[in-house]
């Protein structure tokens, strides 16, 4: 398990299957997070067959039920609307066609009944043919979409898309390349699913840019939301929902899911930003201070409209965003550490930990299994002692032949049996009390341990972002040289244009009530001169070269050297990934579905979306019935 500070030992699936039901229940209970989800340190899910996964999932669910019966309130948590939406979507995709009525296939006057049998039969075929290879192909499809979305929005994919197929088959072989996102974030997704994580972070950064400038999102992100929903319908072959969205996209705003997304967005605007800022100039100073604290002092220029910034400046601002998160996790460690240490000291004072048990070791799976074994043994000893006491009581007090035993002997037998029962009960109670105290400590300090894991993982991510700065700069220089051509005059003109070349010309609507000085200039220069004492340090050196300011005029030799560094990262013309593997039968049904769907769903003249039928025809997706990870069935995927 990736984490420089992680102490939880990873258990193999073979170890899991060998656990008894009681051990299984305890294992699940001790790895329950405060939010009610479970974080199981188990490796090798992907090595199980579909039947083995289902069997193990059933055992986990039964163990969860037993744990819930033992402590109902401990497992209470708020309703997760995102998870509910996912489950309902899966249920809707998996139910048989016979459960649908004709009216369900009619939306806004569009009769979709002729497509019902074809779609249902296609799904039946897909369900029969869907296997682990199809699941991997679906994930490749999602990664490919995320790659292009990230690149189109100015982000920087971790590696070329042409390697995606190889990476998906052998993640360990590419572990060094994947290290910034290796098992981070802690969502238990396969380690090679990187682009989706990158895209999520980049989208959050774009929101961060707007929020810290007091700018509104473009239509509150609704267009992007509609696009994602339609894309999901196309992948799943969900003709009914797609038709409803095409007919009236605004109807999506009336659903609980959109309101849930808006609540999250409002929370982000309030809390995920540089605090104490009253306008753009304050934000500029905050960025300057944060970067300086991390040793980044090179000059750069922020624009009040982020879409007017050049590529290099935007990447530097993204570096600040990731430093903000790293500082957040570090602050959480400092805030939670005193409580963690106090709770551990209380255990030590009560002589709860054994000599070999440290605060890190008790979180490991071997420690958990040992505690469960001790608990089982103490419980069995108590049961045996009680059974023996009942037998002795019958022999000495109830049996018709009891008078054949001398009275003194009967009294000694009763006394001995009672003494064993008392000793067994004391052992059981002390064992249970000790284990409960350890378990309570583990649960109460989950946030501290998670903060340490997040800080370690995010430090690697922030380091990667920092190392990309000279590469981004080299790409800007190379593009300038390419565009300028041999003419020296043109080189100067192109270089000057590139220095202030916007990523995308656009105007932003300012949020009402966001304080800002009216005479504030539209840009603020940030450089060592503004950094106070922190700026007196020499420029940070990366890869053996001093970082060159964007507005410095490089020599021809330096330009050539920086351009050469592009060999470390180039993907201007990404090679297409291997197409998704699908049976000819499914492909034929998808192709046959196009004419019917095209006749049913006709986009308005002059539309920019293109034919919906062609979208479905070109996206041959497998059934949404996936074995997936067991953790998803347990509901441990939160967000």
Residues 6+ apart with CB under 8 A from 435: 371, 374, 375
Long-range contacts of 443-446 (CB under 8 A, 24+ apart): 443/32, 443/34, 444/339, 444/343, 445/336, 445/339, 445/340, 445/343, 446/33, 446/34
Q: How confident is the model at residue 275 (pLDDT cuts 50, 70, 90)?
A: confident
Q: At what angle do helices 407-444 and 446-484 cross, to 10 degrees?
A: 30
Q: Using CA of residue 448, residue 449, residue 454, residue 460, what is the dihedral sign?
A: positive
Q: How many helices (H) and strands (E) does the chain have?
A: 22, 8
434 and 399 in a common domain? yes
Judged against a pLDDT cut of 60, whether residue 22 lies above it is answered with yes
Q: Which of 552, 583, 598 is the last residue of a domain?
A: 552
Whether 304 is covered by a domain: the verdict is yes
Long-range contacts of 137-141 (CB under 8 A, 24+ apart): 137/580, 137/581, 137/582, 137/622, 138/580, 138/621, 138/622, 138/626, 139/168, 139/190, 139/193, 140/164, 140/165, 140/168, 140/577, 140/578, 140/580, 141/235, 141/580, 141/619, 141/621
Q: Which of 502, 537, 552 is the last residue of a domain?
A: 552
The encoded tokens of residue 34 equal: 């405060």
491 and 505 in a common domain? yes
| Antiparallel, parallel or unpaired: β 42-43 and 11-12 | parallel
What is residue 458's predicted lDDT score, i.e. its pLDDT?
Answer: 95
The CA distance from 317 to 300, in Å, is: 9
Judged against a pLDDT cut of 80, whether residue 177 lies above it is answered with yes
What is residue 19's predicted lDDT score, i.e. its pLDDT?
Answer: 73
Judged against a pLDDT cut of 80, whether residue 407 lies above it is answered with yes
Whether 39 is covered by a domain: the verdict is yes
Residues 6+ apart with CB under 8 A from 499: 310, 550, 551
374 and 435 in a common domain? yes
Output phi, psi for 433, to 5 deg. Answer: -65, -45
542 and 464 in a common domain? yes
pLDDT tens digit sequence for 310-329: 999 999 999 999 999 999 99
Question: 193: buried, middle or exposed (CB in 10 Å: 19+, 13-18, 0-12)?
Answer: buried
Whether 460 is covered by a domain: the verdict is yes
pLDDT tens digit sequence for 502-516: 554 444 555 544 443
The CA distance from 51 to 57, in Å, is: 10
- Mean pLDDT (the chain) is 72
The CA distance from 359 to 363, in Å, is: 7
Residues 375-383 have a mean pLDDT of 95
The CA distance from 425 to 451, in Å, is: 39
548 and 454 in a common domain? yes
545 and 490 in a common domain? yes
405 and 475 in a common domain? no
Using only C-alpha atoms, the chain has a radius of gyration, in whole angstroms, of: 31
Whether 138 is covered by a domain: the verdict is no
- Look at the chain and report how many structural domains it folds into: 3
63 and 22 in a common domain? yes
Whether 303 is covered by a domain: the verdict is yes
- Name 107's bridge partners: 110
The CA distance from 389 to 418, in Å, is: 6
Judged against a pLDDT cut of 90, whether residue 194 lies above it is answered with yes
Q: Which domain holds residue 15?
A: 1-77
Whether 534 is covered by a domain: the verdict is yes
In this structure, are residues 638 and 35 in contact, taking their beta carbons and an 8 Å threshold?
Answer: yes
The residue to which tokens 């009560």 are assigned:
350
Of all residues in the chain, what percent carry a pLDDT higher than 70? Answer: 58
> What is the three-state SS of 6-64?
CCCCCEEHHHHHCCCHHHHHHHHHHCECCCCCECCCEECHHHCCHHHHHHHHHHHHHHH
491 and 440 in a common domain? no
> Does residue 60 or residue 432 have the better pLDDT?
432
418 and 328 in a common domain? no
DSSP state for residue 509 in the 8-state scheme = P
399 and 384 in a common domain? yes
The CA distance from 488 to 497, in Å, is: 14
The CA distance from 105 to 115, in Å, is: 9
> Does residue 626 or residue 42 have the better pLDDT?
42
Whether 83 is covered by a domain: the verdict is no
What is residue 132's predicted lDDT score, i.e. its pLDDT?
Answer: 81
What does 533-588 look like in DSSP terms, one character per residue? GGGGSPPPEETTEEPPPTTS---HHHHHHHHHGGGGS--SSPPPPPPPP--HHHHH
Q: Which of 400, 418, 444 is the last residue of a domain?
A: 444
Whether 408 is covered by a domain: the verdict is yes
Q: How confident is the model at residue 468 (pLDDT cuts 50, 70, 90)?
A: very high
537 and 393 in a common domain? no
């Amino acid at each position: 398990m990736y984490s420089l500070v992680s102490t939880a030992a990873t258990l193999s699936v073979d170890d899991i299957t060998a656990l008894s039901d009681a051990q299984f229940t305890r294992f699940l209970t001790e790895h329950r997070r405060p939010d009610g989800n479970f974080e199981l340190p188990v490796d090798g899910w992907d090595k199980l067959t579909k039947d083995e996964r289902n069997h193990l999932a059933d055992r986990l669910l039964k163990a969860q039920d037993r744990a819930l019966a033992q402590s109902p309130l401990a497992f209470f948590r708020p309703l997760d609307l995102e998870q509910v939406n996912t489950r309902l979507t899966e249920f809707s995709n998996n139910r048989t066609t016979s459960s649908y009525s004709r009216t369900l296939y009619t939306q806004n006057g569009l009769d979709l009944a002729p497509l019902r049998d074809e779609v249902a039969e296609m799904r039946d075929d897909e369900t029969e043919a869907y296997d682990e290879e199809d699941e991997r192909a679906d994930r490749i499809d999602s990664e490919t979409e995320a790659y292009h979305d990230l690149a189109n929005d100015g982000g920087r994919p971790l590696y070329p898309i042409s390697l995606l197929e190889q990476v998906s088959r052998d993640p360990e072989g590419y572990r060094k390349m994947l290290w910034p996102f290796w098992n981070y974030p802690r969502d238990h997704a396969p380690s090679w699913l990187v682009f989706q994580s990158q895209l999520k972070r980049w989208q959050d950064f774009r929101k961060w840019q707007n929020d810290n400038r007091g700018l509104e999102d473009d239509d509150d992100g609704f267009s992007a939301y509609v696009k994602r929903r339609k894309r999901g319908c196309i992948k799943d072959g969900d003709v009914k929902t797609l038709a409803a969205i095409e007919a009236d996209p605004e109807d999506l705003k009336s659903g609980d899911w959109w309101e849930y997304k808006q609540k999250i967005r409002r929370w982000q605007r309030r809390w995920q930003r540089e605090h104490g800022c009253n306008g753009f100039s304050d934000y500029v100073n905050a960025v300057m201070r944060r970067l300086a604290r991390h040793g980044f002092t090179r000059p750069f220029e922020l624009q009040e409209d982020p879409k007017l910034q050049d590529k290099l400046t935007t990447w530097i601002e993204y570096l600040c965003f990731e430093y903000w998160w790293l500082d957040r996790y570090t602050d959480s460690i400092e805030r939670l550490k005193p409580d963690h240490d106090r709770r551990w000291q209380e255990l030590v004072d009560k002589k709860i930990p054994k000599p070999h048990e440290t605060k890190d070791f008790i979180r490991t799976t071997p420690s958990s299994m040992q505690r469960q074994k001790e608990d089982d043994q103490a419980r069995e000893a108590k049961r045996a002692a009680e059974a023996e006491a009942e037998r002795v009581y019958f022999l000495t007090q109830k049996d018709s032949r009891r008078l054949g035993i001398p009275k003194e002997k009967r009294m000694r037998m009763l006394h001995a049996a009672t003494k064993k029962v008392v000793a067994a009960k004391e052992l059981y109670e002390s064992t249970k009390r000790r284990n409960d105290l350890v378990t309570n400590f583990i649960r109460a300090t989950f946030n501290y341990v998670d903060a340490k894991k997040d800080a370690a993982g995010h430090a690697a991510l922030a380091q990667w972002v920092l190392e990309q700065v000279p590469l981004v700069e080299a790409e800007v220089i190379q593009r300038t040289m390419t565009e300028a051509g041999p003419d020296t005059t043109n080189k100067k003109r192109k270089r000057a244009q590139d220095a202030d070349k916007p990523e995308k010309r656009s105007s932003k609507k300012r949020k009402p009530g966001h304080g800002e000085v009216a005479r504030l200039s539209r840009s603020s220069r940030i450089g060592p001169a503004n950094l106070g004492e922190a700026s007196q340090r020499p420029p940070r050196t990366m890869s053996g070269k001093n970082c060159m300011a964007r507005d410095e005029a490089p020599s021809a030799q330096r330009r050539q050297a920086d351009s050469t560094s592009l060999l470390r990262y180039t993907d201007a013309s990404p090679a297409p990934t291997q197409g998704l593997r699908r049976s000819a039968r499914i492909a034929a049904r998808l192709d046959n579905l196009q004419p019917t769907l095209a006749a049913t769903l006709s986009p308005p003249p002059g539309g920019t979306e293109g034919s919906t039928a062609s979208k479905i025809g070109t996206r041959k997706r497998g059934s949404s019935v996936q074995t997936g990870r067991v953790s998803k069935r347990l509901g441990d995927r939160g967000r």
